[in-house]
Amino acid sequence: MSNRLVLASQSPRRAELLRQIGLPFDVHVTDVDETKLADESSEEYVERLAQEKCHAGWQLSKADSPVAVIGADTIVLLGDELLGKPAGLNEGKAMLTRLAGKTHTVLSGVAVSNGQRLESTVVSSTVTFKALSRHDIDAYIATGEGQDKAGSYGIQGIGGIFVERIEGSFSAVMGLPVQETEALLRTLNIDTWGMRCHG
């Protein structure tokens, strides 16, 4: 039996967060359809994607007998509108223009499976941006940092200078709520401290 987790994500932020909390893991990149269902709430949507990524990650890695697989997804909501990853520079600029001076919601779903059971949760955080000038937006877009991120910004990088206030989980806004991930692993009776000591 392997003493490692599998992170079913290609996100470097999620990998960084797992490293920060001292858990040994391997990465298996999954490919799931991220189309939102017509009757699905935003919370249901982000939790389903986390579950599907987790399930796909288990199918890819079960031969390695990992301790557990972690799947996650993060979305940004401005009011009821979902802001995904920008399709290009112009869409990124448009997103930041709309987020400027406003409060938006970040929903992060996380799912953990040991092959027999799958547990998941959704963490909601609110982020308030300061007012942004056109120069702020153009200069930030030119860094390329927001290209692969929901809402077109990264709170853990340069994008953090736009954040006036956050209520909730900083790590969830980054892409993986670490406290809740730890709690889900323990719900599956996974000895996370033992993994840290022997991983």
Helices (H) and strands (E) in the chain, counts: 7, 7
49: tokens are 């994607």
Residue 80 has pLDDT above 50, yes or no: yes
Would you say residue 199 has pLDDT above 70?
no
Among the ranges given (83-87, 165-169, 172-176), the one the predictor scored with the smallest mean pLDDT: 83-87
The catalytic position among 73, 80, 136, 138 is 73
Q: Could you give the CA distance from residue 74 to residue 179 in angstroms, rounded to a whole number? A: 16
Q: Which residue has tokens 């979902």?
A: 82
Query: Is 73 a known active-site residue?
Result: yes
44-53: pLDDT as tens digits: 999 999 999 9
Q: Burial level of 155, CB count in 10 A (0-12/13-18/19+)?
A: buried
Structure confidence at residue 1 (pLDDT): 44
For residue 40, the number of C-alpha atoms closer than 13 Å in the C-beta half-sphere is 14
**Sole residue written with tokens 């406003």:** 102
Measured CA angle at 14 (ends 142, 179), to 5 deg:
130
Is 5-198 in CATH node 3.40.30.10? no
Evaluated on CA atoms 149, 151, 155, 157, the torsion sign reads: positive
* pLDDT, mean of residues 54-70: 92
Average pLDDT (109-138) is 97
Give the predicted TM-score (pTM) of the model: 0.93
109 by DSSP, 3-state: which?
strand
User: Stretch 146-159: mean pLDDT, rounded?
Assistant: 93
Backbone CA torsion sign across 87, 92, 93, 97: positive
Strands (E), the chain: 5-7, 25-27, 68-78, 81-83, 103-113, 118-129, 163-167
